[in-house]
Structure 1
Amino acid sequence: MLIIFGGLPGSGKTTIARALARRLDAVYVRVDTIEQAIRASGVADDVGPAGYIVAYGIAGDNLTLGRTVIADSVNPLQITRASWRSVAQAAGVKTVEVEVVCSDKAEHRKRVETRVSDVEGLVKPTWQEISERAYDEWHGPFVIDSASKTVEAAIDELVVRLNGE
């Protein structure tokens, strides 16, 4: 199974995606880490779609090995979401899409302005950059509101949903 996470930076998606990966013993693929590794290599400062394309390849390899994969990225555009679904389809596995939101704007902003990057060299976007970011509306994913539940409650809810899939 491919579990596709998305949501604006600071919404809580990485925290929840990591916790779910631990709970399921799943492969965890994070686009931020891949993009920063490409930048650190000196090949390019502007990685464009390269990080996503590398992530699709890593996810596809692990899906064909029979592993559950959790994909963690902003997924701001319909095309990135469709590409993740294509990776799963090529591997012959189902997908579950999870959008993480933080409905409390003050809390979301606080998270953005106080968090420390856990990827060496990665510069996190500012609240203004996040507020102005292009982000296509999702249609049909499972939505987790991180403002209204703990990480553990979100994981419990996701596991119940996954077991029903």
Structure 2
Amino acid sequence: MNSVSVDAFTDGGTEEPRRSRSMLVVVGGLPATGKTTVSRAAAGRIGAAYLRIDTIEQALSEFADREGPCDELRHAVTQGLGYDVAYAVARDLLRQGRHVFAECVNPLMITRKAWRDVAETTGAHLVEVELVCSDPAEHERRATTRTVDIPGLFLPSWADILEREYEPWDRAHVELDTAGTSAEATVTSLCEALGIDT
């Protein structure tokens, strides 16, 4: 996998990070790599809006359950409806001049391209981030001991995570390894990559 430093996120060869436009930071990675903790904290440091696919998908699923037989809606959620909702909300926020952190697995080239399209259509500066946990034992421990913070959300098992479709990245992006690293240290590393004073 490729990784890049903050130098890739400057305009016209200057040393100053882009500050004149909204920033879209998409934090992806397999479940239990620390995406929620890290992206929520980093967003809070700059007062950015925070979008979480799990929250959107759970709300859609609860609506389907509450309204009776909604098999089509449930199917749409499994096919990416939550992502489509997040793209639309992110566009609105970015057009208002807000910085946005979007947290999702972002497992496929099609989802990564869609986030790039969001940035392009709004004139936002896109930063693509992938969190990984290079220690399988630590990753499994996190996956099997974490608690649910969204009522009703089903957490994937370790077997589910291992079997999840996750395509390799085809372009440079910020990669942060959370194995053996505190959440606070990872947040600091992310903020440094974004040019955010910590």
TM-score strictly above 0.5 = yes
**For this pair of structures, how many residues does the alignment match?**
164
Is 1:76–2:107 an aligned residue pair? yes
1:73: how far off?
0.2
1:16-55 aligned at under 5 Å gives the runs 16-42=38-64, 43=70, 44-46=73-75, 47=77, 48-55=79-86
Distance in 2 (CA, whole Å) between partners of 1:8 and 1:97 is 14
CA RMSD of aligned residues (A): 1.2
Runs of 4+ in 1 over 6 A off after TM superposition: none
Provide, for residues 32-72 of structure 1, a one-character-per-residue CA deviation record: whole Å limited to 9, x for no partner: 00000000001433312110000001111000000000000
Match of 1:2 in 2: 24
1:163: how far off?
1.7
Structure whose alpha-carbon radius of gyration is higher? 2
Q: Which runs of 5+ in 1 are unaligned?
A: none
Which amino acid is 1:158 matched to?
Answer: L
**Aligned sequence identity (%):** 48
Distance in 2 (CA, whole Å) between partners of 1:114 and 1:153 is 21
Match of 2:145 in 1: 114
Distance in 2 (CA, whole Å) between partners of 1:113 and 1:163 is 34
Give the alignment's TM-score, normalised by structure 1: 0.95
Give the alignment's TM-score, normalised by structure 2: 0.80
Distance in 2 (CA, whole Å) between partners of 1:152 and 1:101 is 15
Distance in 2 (CA, whole Å) between partners of 1:116 and 1:160 is 29
